[in-house]
Chains A and B, each alone.
Chain A
Amino acid sequence: MALANNSDLMAAIAVTRFGLGARPGEIDAAKSDPRGFLKAQIRADGAEQPQGDLKSSSDNLYVYAGLRKARQAAKAEDAADALKQVQQQIRGLVINEMAARGRLAAQTPNGFAERWTLFWSNHFTVSALKGTAAPVVGSFEREAIRPHVFGRFEDMLLASSRHPAMLLYLDQAQSAGPNSPAGQRRKSGLNENLGREILELHTVGIAAGYSQADVTEFARALTGWSVSRGRDAPIGQGDSGPLGAFMYRPYLHEPGVRQVMGRTYAQAGESQAGAVLHDLAGHPSTASHIAQKLARHFVADTPPPSLVAKLQTSFVQSGGRLDHLAQTLIDAPEAWQPDAAKFKTPYEFLVSSWRASGQGPDPSAPLKFVGSLAVMGQRPFSPDSPKGWSDEAVDWASSDGVVKRLAWAEQAGAAMAAQGLEPSETGKAALGARLTPAVATAIARAETRPEAFAILLMSPEFQRR
């Protein structure tokens, strides 16, 4: 395995593979110290926050609740209109979140920190395809993920598992133990969805070999973890805390001692599930699961085992410190192979195209870029399962996918030409030392500037990182 060792190529790799693609001048800025350029983005206070008309989860849920109330109050013949209004409002909330996040990705100087954030956000997937969770999928990423991306994994796991978006998305909020007061009155019972997905997707992974009994026991420990209905809920239903805040409901909790993956949990109440999460965060299988996923995301669909081993060791030795993990990734020679093995997802393709142009998505038409991504199969915040978006080329490089990219690249190429950019210079700035002579020649020989830009965006080098 040849390793990149000249600073021109390393700078291009730092910005396009570790980052989200080069803005004009970015590769030059990374040249003197490519590794240092990336490490400077690791900050204890986490990732940058998207800017815009964005509300807290609680406020977003109030919008939803208020409209729902209005709908119930409306006469039967108006119900359809009222429902439509609720859907449009929520759609507006989510579109705002998508647009703000798209602008941040297109413009941030901290491309590595943003890619790192997108990885963790996808690791803890919530989706707007589930109606109850839709109002809070964007605020989930801002509240539960971004503050923790360079902190401790356990803190992010806890923040995710206690956030209303996750509690609603995976049906935890109403889950009740069969022997809890609520279960005894048969008002409700156990739902094991969140417990299962925390084990399978967020922590140890299916290779850890846990059993159905482990899933059920963990789901029992989680009972009571719920969401506040807010102080101003109808009489008799009001809770302490703002709507959507994490709330422990003792009358849902399954009493007794739990056994999960060979460990015994005798804690009473809310802290029982917390203790399980603590152990899951520190479980060796979690370290190997995360190491494998991270190496696959940054380096190759089938990553070098030596890199996976380094990341796993870093995770274990640092007690799940994500800043250490990022340093280890940047230091690893395996992550700097000259050949770009990763095929961009549609989101990465659009973001890197905007960055190449030095512009963001058209702020006056957020729906347009959301629509483009939907056509390419990656509507933001809307993956179709808790597993999140695929990170492998086989899922994205379908013939239809490539044809859709071509159609988009033609429009983007025309826009870049209208901006007055120069194609050959733009190509050099976007790919640096990764620009091959064949592509440079094709750009130079293009008949029109829009054609030249489309060639750049569709080139094998630009499609990969």
Chain B
Amino acid sequence: MNRPVDLSLTRRSALARAAGLGLSVSFLGRAAFAAGDGDLARRKLVVIVCRGGMDGLSVSPPVGDPDYAGLRKTIAIAPFDAPNGALKLDDTFGLHPSLKAVHRLALAGQARICPAVATPDRARSHFEAQDVLESGGSLVYGTPSGWLNRTLQALAPTRRVEALSVGVEAPLILRGPVHAASWSPGGLQGRDGRLPGILADLYAHDPLLGPALASGLQTQSMAKVASTLAMAQEQAETPGEAMDSMAAMTGKPAAANLGGNPQAVRAAGVTVAKFMTAENGPQIVAISVDNFDTHANQGAAQGLLANRLTYLDNLLDGLADGLGPDWNNTVVVAATEFGRTAHVNGTGGTDHGTASTALVLGGALKRRGIIGDWPTLQPAKLFESRDTAPTLDMRSLFKGVLVEHLGVERRTLDTAIFPDSASAAPATGVV
């Protein structure tokens, strides 16, 4: 691409994507590995927290399970051979018809499902369950920091590491002693006045504002680089599209944009990937995707949930594509705080449940079947007669990835990263 890129425009547009799309991204660990770590130095991990309780029975519908259609009725995903049917993975499981990119990756051995995974929490409260998912504790409020932050501490006890979150709010998963910087669209244009210096003096003994301002100013240049790279790729692939996403700058609530502009969501995934592949880019990234709380009218092949899954699919597609050769060094885990009831409820939706599906993706996954066991949906097998029963502890899944992909020691995992979790053995054979 030889066309010169107007920097102010590219920056605004790429930022606009993140702004209008209800997406917040967090980065951790710019220098988590030294060059001497060999292969490990190139490894990358992305954790996507799907908030609101993502319905596993729609993400990876077990259309081959004899009880599935009867439980789900109007919101059941149709069998493999029907129009708008599930995208086949094996005789039991398919993927939601909106998850086209994930299915393509799965057929290439680069995406797997973990269909009955749950955190140790059983209260069916969003807030408590998200807390347990992100803190890595065995119970709610067990630990005030996030497990990704503690992973970084464990990986690099003597090196200076940096953290960055994109989005105004800092998610629990990366809170902790390793200071997390953050960045989101908008904000400072050219910052070379006297004010930052004066404030830095006033904040010299302020433990909250001092570090926050310093790292906030540092992230500006990094954001500029990533946005420019993403814009360049985007313009090469879909000329004209970049301009359309300017509309997202107008500050519409995220919910208004659900699935509205798949290209812009995909471009957001590419932007994140360009952050990661930039020199000194982050190796550990956390992304939040909201709005999975489908109590009413969730739909089947189309509808509210399908729109959210289209969004997720485009984000993952953009990530995989934008990472390029580094896709082979990357593992992405998309997980949610809990699944939803096995039965459809009275308002065409589902209520808070227990186990759900996690998606695991990456260029170097092992080619095997589902991760964990399938408990089936037989009435006697349902957890408390209402939910998919958990067969795998969420911490086991995360620990398996940390052991096999990032080379974290088992003892550290059992005690520091996931406290008191020795009984939840790492799920092996994933990567």
| Assembly CA distance A192 to B386 (angstroms) | 13
Name A406's contact: one of B199, B208, B251, B345 (CB within 8 Å): B199
Are A131 and B255 in touch, CB under 8 angstroms?
A: yes
Supplied contacts A385-B127, A402-B212, 16 more A-B pairs, CB within 8 Å: A129-B253, A191-B296, A191-B347, A192-B351, A212-B386, A371-B251, A377-B167, A384-B290, A393-B208, A397-B208, A398-B168, A401-B182, A406-B188, A406-B196, A451-B193, A460-B203
Cα(A451)–Cα(B195), bound, Å: 7
Report if A399-B212 is in contact (Cβ < 8 Å); known contacts: A183-B346, A191-B295: yes
B243 within 8 A of A: no
Q: Beta-carbon contacts of A403-447 to B below 8 Å, as 1s and 0s?
A: 110110010000000000000000000000000001100100011
Within the complex, which residue of B51, B166, B296 is in contact with A171, where a contact is CB–CB below 8 Å? B296
Which residues of A43-94 have CB atoms within 8 Å of chain B's CB atoms?
87
With beta carbons under 8 angstroms apart, the residue of A174, A382, A442, A458 that contacts B346 is A174
User: For residue B198, which residues in chain A have a CB less than 8 angstroms away from its CB?
Assistant: 442, 446, 451, 455
In the complex, the answer to whether B169 meets A398 with C-beta atoms within 8 Å is: yes
> Quick check: is B420 within 8 A (CB to CB) of the other chain?
no
Is A404 in contact with B202, judged by CB distance below 8 angstroms?
no
Contacts of B386 in A (CB 8 A): 212
Q: How far is the CA of A85 from the CA of B428 in the complex (A)?
A: 54
Say whether, besides A191-B296, A438-B202, A400 and B195 are in contact (CB < 8 Å): no
Instruction: Tell me which residues across on chain B come within 8 A of A188, comparing CB atoms.
Output: 346-347
| B182 CB contact (under 8 Å) in A131, A387, A400, A460 | A400
Task: Given A394-B170, A398-B180, verify A190-B256 contact (CB < 8 Å).
Answer: no
Q: Tell me, in angstroms, the Cα distance from A118 to B321 when the chains sit together.
A: 45
Cα distance, A215 to B345, chains bound together (Å)? 14
A-B pairs with beta carbons under 8 Å apart, 23 shown: A129-B255, A171-B347, A174-B347, A175-B347, A188-B346, A190-B346, A196-B124, A196-B125, A375-B186, A382-B253, A398-B168, A398-B182, A399-B213, A399-B216, A400-B219, A403-B217, A406-B188, A406-B195, A407-B186, A451-B194, A455-B195, A455-B199, A460-B206
Task: State whether the Cβ of A108 lies closer than 8 Å to any Cβ in chain B.
Answer: no
Whether the pair B209, A402 counts as a contact (CB closer than 8 A) is yes
Q: Is the CB of A399 within 8 A of B182?
A: yes
* Chain B residues with CB under 8 A of A439: 202
Residue among A128, A376, A385, A451 with the highest chain B CB neighbour number at 10 A: A385
- Our pick among A376, A385, A407 for the contact of B168 (Cβ within 8 Å) is A376
What are the interface flags for B355-391 relative to A under an 8 Å C-beta threshold, 1 for contact and 0 otherwise? 0000000000000000000000000000010100000
For chain B, residues 145 to 186, give those with C-beta under 8 angstroms from any C-beta of chain A. Answer: 165-170, 175, 180-186
- Chain B residues with CB below 8 A from A399, complex form: 180-183, 211-216, 219
- For residue B7, CB closer than 8 A to chain A, the reply is no
Question: Which chain A residue has the least Cβ–Cβ distance from B22?
Answer: A384
Q: Is B254 an interface residue (CB 8 A)?
A: yes
Interface residues in A170-201 (C-beta closer than 8 Å to B)? 170-171, 174-176, 178, 183, 188-193, 196, 200
**Closest B residue, CB atoms, query A381:** B253
Tell me the complex Cα distance, A192–B296, Å.
Answer: 10
Q: Are B212 and A404 touching (Cβ within 8 A)?
A: no
What bracket does the count of chain A residues touching chain B fall in?
A: 35 or more
Residues of B in contact with A, size category: 35 or more
Given the interface contacts A371-B251, A400-B187, A406-B213, does A174 sit within 8 Å of B296 by beta carbon? yes
Q: Name which residue of chain B comes closest to A200, CB basis.
A: B125
B187-A407 in contact (CB<8A): yes
Bound together, the chains give a CA A463 to CA B202 distance in angstroms of 12
Q: Kindly report which residue of chain B lies nearest to residue A376, judged by CB atoms.
A: B168
Q: Does A39 lie at the interface of the complex (its beta carbon under 8 Å from any beta carbon of B)?
A: no
Instruction: Write the nearest CB–CB distance from A308 to chain B, whole angstroms.
Output: 16
A377-B169, A399-B181, A451-B195 known; A442 vs B345 contact (CB < 8 Å): no
Looking at the complex, which one of B194, B203, B206, B347 makes contact with A189 (CB distance below 8 Å)? B347
CA distance A206 to B175 in the complex (A): 23
Q: Are B213 and A402 in contact (CB under 8 A)?
A: yes
Q: How far is the CB of B179 from chain A (nearest CB, A)?
A: 8
- A152 — which chain B residues lie within 8 A by C-beta? none
**Chain B residues in the interface with A (C-beta under 8 A):** 51-52, 123-128, 140, 165-170, 175, 180-188, 193-196, 198-199, 201-203, 206, 208-209, 211-217, 219-220, 251, 253-256, 290, 295-296, 345-347, 349, 351-352, 384, 386
What residue in chain B is nearest A409 (Cβ atoms)? B195
Shortest A56–chain B CB gap in Å is 23
- The reply to whether the CB of A116 lies closer than 8 angstroms to some CB of chain B is no
Q: Is A395 in contact with chain B by the CB < 8 A criterion?
A: yes
By a CB distance below 8 angstroms, the chain B residues around A396 are: 169
- Contact A403:B216 (CB < 8 A) given known A397-B208, A451-B195, A458-B199: yes
The distance from the CB of B188 to the nearest CB of chain A, in whole angstroms, is 5
Q: Is A268 an interface residue (CB 8 A)?
A: no
Q: How far is the CA of A342 from the CA of B296 in the complex (A)?
A: 38
Give bound CA distance, A188 to B349, whole Å. Answer: 11
Would you call A189 and B127 a contact (CB within 8 A)? Answer: no
Minimal Cβ-Cβ distance residue in B for A189? B346
0/1 interface trace, chain A 249-270, chain B, CB 8 Å (1 if under): 0000000000000000000000
Q: How far is the CA of A131 from the CA of B297 in the complex (A)?
A: 13
CA distance A382 to B217 in the complex (A): 28
Q: Does A278 contact B (CB under 8 A)?
A: no
Nearest B residue to A439 by beta-carbon distance?
B202
The distance from the CB of A247 to the nearest CB of chain B, in whole angstroms, is 17
**Residues of chain B lying within 8 A (CB to CB) of residue A460:** 202-203, 206, 209
Q: Taking the nearest CB of chain B, how far is it from the CB of A449, in angstroms? A: 13
Chain B residues with CB below 8 A from A178, complex form: 346
B140 / chain A contacts, CB cutoff of 8 Å: 206
- How far, in angstroms, from A207 to B186 measured CA to CA in the complex? 39
B288 to nearest A CB, angstroms? 10
Shortest 10 CB-CB contacts between residues of A and residues of B: A189-B346, A377-B168, A399-B216, A403-B216, A400-B182, A398-B182, A399-B215, A402-B212, A399-B212, A375-B186
List the A side residues contacting B199 at CB < 8 Å. 406, 455, 458
Contacts of A175 on B, CB cut-off 8 Å? 346-347
Closest to A454 in B: B195
Query: Closest B-chain residue to A223, C-beta based?
Result: B346
CB contacts (< 8 Å) of B202 on chain A: these are 438-439, 442, 455, 458-460
Smallest Cβ-Cβ distance to B183: which chain A residue = A400
How many angstroms between the C-alpha atoms of A458 and B345 in the bound complex?
50
Cβ of A349 within 8 Å of any chain B Cβ, yes or no, is no
> In the complex, what distance in Å separates the CA atom of A393 from the CA atom of B193?
27
- CA–CA, A395 and B131, complex, Å: 14
Q: Which residue of A lies closest to B344 (CB)?
A: A189
**What A residues does B128 contact at CB under 8 A?**
206
Q: How far is the CB of A461 from chain B (nearest CB, A)?
A: 9
Closest Cβ of chain A: how far from B399's Cβ, in Å? 26
Contacts of A376 in B (CB 8 A): 168
**Bound CA–CA A1/B256 (angstroms):** 49
Residues of B within 8 A of A200 (CB): 125, 127
Q: Does A293 touch B at the CB level, under 8 Å?
A: no
Q: In whole Å, how far is A14's beta carbon from the nearest beta carbon of chain B?
A: 24
A370 part of interface (Cβ distance < 8 Å): yes
Residues in B neighbouring A129, C-beta threshold 8 A: 253-255
CB-defined contacts of B217 to chain A, threshold 8 Å:
403
A190 to B351, CA, bound (A): 9
In the bound complex, do residue A400 and residue B253 qualify as a contact, i.e. CB atoms below 8 Å apart? no
- Measured CB to CB, the nearest residue on chain B to A386 is B126
In contact, B209 and A375 (Cβ under 8 angstroms): no
Contact B201 A398 (CB under 8 A): no
